[in-house]
Amino acid sequence: MMTIVLTALQYLGYILIFPGFLFCFVIGMLLCGIDRKIVARMQKRVGPPVLQPFYDFFKLCGKETIIPAAASKTTFLAAPLVGLAALVVLQLFIPIHGFSAFSGMADIIVILYLLLIPAMAAMLGGAASGSPYAGIGLSREMVTIIACELPLVMVLLAVGKVVGGDAVTFSFSKIANYQLANGSLITHASLIPAAIAMLLIIPGETGNHPFDTAEAETEICEGLLAEYSGAPLAVYKLTHCVKVLTLTSFFAALFLGGIGTGIVVVDALILVAICIVLTIVSISFVHAITARLKIEQVFKFYWTIVTGLALISLVLAWYGL
Amino acid sequence: MFKKLIEESTAKSPWLFHINAGSCNGCDIELVSVLTPRYDAERLGFKLTGTPRHADIVVVTGPVTSQSLPRVLRAISQVPEPRCIVTMGSCPQSGNVFRGSYSVAGPLSKYVHVDVDVAGCAPKPEAVIDGLALATQILKEKRAKK
């Protein structure tokens, strides 16, 4: 009986504190704050304080929540929470050095599905708001997701092939253990194109510049979020921040595993450092030097250049290089 | 404690929504210059939003023509509380050189409560930042009263 209670408490701690909700909240917001600061510095501005996303979040919590007359109330309010919950669960599957809160036989496939849920939730919420801007945003979000998903799956297949040998593996713990034994996968020559492809997928999945066509605020009034205000909007902003953390730590676990000491706290700090560097490289720099693309350009970019890079990796991995 | 946190954050993260009520475009350009590297209002947390639902501060430029009046009022009513209305330039405040014209319905203060007036044709970016900073304090007070 005692052990059951203890295990339940342990999992509750995983979900609510580390590496679950609280960790995602603080580090995700911090990453977004650093991103905004770096972009500002690159544009020769002073930039907002690093804690700006926290201020935005708490301010939005204190605002009035308006529900449009045309909206379907339950879906409109539940959608942001579903998206956030899916991302927090996803974070539990990502190994930190040797430690992972949840693990399973084919957790990579679970992660692929969980990664879709926030986008689907945003689309559902946008559709439920009854705004025509959200309608345009919805179709663009759908195209962006389809564009990102193909190269992402190919990257994961290439990694699985290198780690699994004869049988492609979809187990994250196997990938982590392989890297503990043989060093980071990024040193593997055949996986370098896949790593570059993954770096290009991160801003697309998070909806950052230049792939933020679905939320183009100057063009279609923030698209899916056009009708949101107050606390639900705060949850959407938080979801975006957590997504940055999730994808960068996903990259770290896939390609930069095996860096660490074995003490969970130190490893978590190392992971945060890696996530900050990845955010700056793949989100801030790209944001500062590009302008927003049109939706067909986003699609073309992902299905030619990024998919091409992933395909090169897949072929090399298949021939065992 | 949580209430205090929200109040502090309200003053530090004001998002702007800009309405052009028949402006000559001079004030609109000055508002954009406030966000450029030289003045960089983002260091105070200011951000331009695309929809009134996300906004805290509504910036109105132009003399409020009779065509734009119903749209301006509708956009302002869509901004969630607490909100602040700032008029920019002399036009929405007094009508400026367009005063008395058959097509001008302004000044704006005849129709809604205006919190801050930034006068000038067009006002200097420093004056705009000053007005907006005043508006954030008013926002904070409004939030505290709730």
Predicted structure pTM score = 0.89
Neighbours of A144 (CB within 10 A): 23
- What domains appear along chain B, each with residue ranges and CATH number? 41-145 (3.40.50.12280)
Taken as a whole, chain A contains a residue count of 321
* Interchain pair B56, A222: CB under 8 A: no
On the CB side of B40, CA atoms within 13 Å amount to: 16
Q: Which helix (H) or strand (E) holds A119?
A: helix A107-129
User: Between A196 and A70, whose confidence is greater?
Assistant: A196
Residue A44 touches partner B, C-beta closer than 8 Å: yes
Phi then psi dihedrals of residue A167, to 5 deg: -100, 125
Q: Which domain holds residue A267?
A: 2-318
Residue B77 touches partner A, C-beta closer than 8 Å: no
Q: Which helix (H) or strand (E) holds B48?
A: strand B47-48
Which pLDDT does position A23 carry in this prediction?
Answer: 86
Total number of domains in chain A: 1
Q: Comparing C-alpha atoms, which of A229, A221, A164 is closest to residue B50?
A: A221
What does the pLDDT profile of chain B (146 residues) look like in tens digits?
A: 778 888 888 888 889 999 988 888 888 888 888 888 888 888 888 888 888 888 989 999 989 899 999 999 999 998 988 889 999 888 888 888 888 889 898 788 888 889 899 988 889 999 999 999 999 989 888 888 87
A183-213 pLDDT per residue, tens: 777 777 788 888 999 999 999 888 888 888 8
Closest partner residue to B6 (CB to CB) among A47, A59, A226 is: A59
A94-123 pLDDT per residue, tens: 888 777 777 777 788 888 888 889 988 988
Distance from A291 to chain B by nearest Cα, in Å? Answer: 16
A205-246 pLDDT per residue, tens: 888 888 888 777 777 877 788 888 888 999 989 999 999 999
Q: Comparing C-alpha atoms, which of B131, B129, B99 is closest to residue B115?
A: B131
- B-chain residues within 8 Å CB-CB of A129? none
